[in-house]
Chain A
Amino acid sequence: MTRPSDVKPREGDQPASLYKDWVVGAEFPPLPFTITPEIVQEYMSVVDADPSHYVIDGRQAAPPNVVAVYMMAVMYRLYPPQQGGIMIGNTIRFHNPIWADEETEVIGSGRVTDKFEKKGRKNICYEVEFKRPDGTKLVSVSHRSAFPE
């Protein structure tokens, strides 16, 4: 089992990356982790999910967005987090199911796609892709956050 907190640097624990540090095109080091049935259960609890919404041909799947709790860990491996970040938006695309009754090995990777200042906010955009070790795509995310410094 990989809890996101096992692989995610915590805000305030180390010197934070600042806006000036972000480089468009920079790639995040691949992050391997394992989603277990226990993680799926806990995720469904914290997003108030109904298991009946995720049954495929009689088999219980996970909410495919369960990978969302690992997303920032992928980015933070290259850019340690700062306090006070605000999420602006996400586009999430689902490619294949994640099953609720088995362990799923996943590799998260990604890159910085843009940075810009708007209305006094320092915006960072990045993409994260989650795949199985055999290359099967699970989920792709395009993300934007704003940071104070």
Chain B
Amino acid sequence: MAIVEGRVEKTIPQTQKMFDDYGKLNGDNDILHYDDAYAKERGFRGTLGHGLMYTGYVCDLAAKKFGSDWHYRGELTVKYIRPVCPGDNLVVSVDADGTVQCESQFDVTLVGKASLV
């Protein structure tokens, strides 16, 4: 993780095992996360990572940025705008102004805002 001029950033390479481990915990059986052929039939590059897993990535950096207040007054709004697939090199960031983003080598995949309310 790097912190530069108030921007917190972390790179997390994506694997199918990560999707499987998250799904094992949350009990998700949606085959978009596991069935490569089905996902491609639906028009995606491959299986899709769990949106809430990426929310967790962003929350971790926001917790670092905002400290204890995050637990009492934190608010995060995110939109999942492009898929994340195995092999993607995902850069997760929270800017000094609270703008959050996930970006792979292909696209910006998540946008949003973290703040204290």
Give 21 CB contacts A-B under 8 Å. Answer: A3-B27, A46-B21, A46-B56, A47-B57, A47-B59, A48-B10, A48-B12, A48-B60, A50-B1, A54-B71, A65-B56, A68-B26, A68-B56, A84-B42, A86-B80, A91-B77, A93-B117, A94-B72, A94-B74, A94-B75, A97-B71
Q: Name the CB-closest residue of B to A76.
A: B27
B residues with a Cβ closer than 8 A to A are 1, 10, 12, 18, 21-22, 24-32, 42, 48, 50-53, 55-57, 59-60, 63-64, 68, 70-80, 112, 117
Closest to B33 in A: A11
Across the interface, which residues of B come within 8 angstroms of A69, CB to CB?
A: 25-27, 52
Q: Is the CB of A4 within 8 A of B51?
A: no
How distant is B6 from chain A, measured CB to nearest CB, in Å?
16
Across the interface, do B32 and A84 meet the contact criterion of CB distance under 8 Å? yes
Q: Is A122's CB within 8 Å of the partner chain B?
A: no
* A6, A7, A70, A83, most chain B CB atoms within 10 A: A83
Contacts of B64 in A (CB 8 A): 50, 53
The size of the chain A interface, using a CB distance under 8 A, is 49
Q: Is the CB of B26 within 8 A of A97?
A: no
**Is A23 interfacial (CB-CB < 8 Å)?**
no
Q: What CA separation (Å) do A3 and B24 show in the bound complex? A: 10
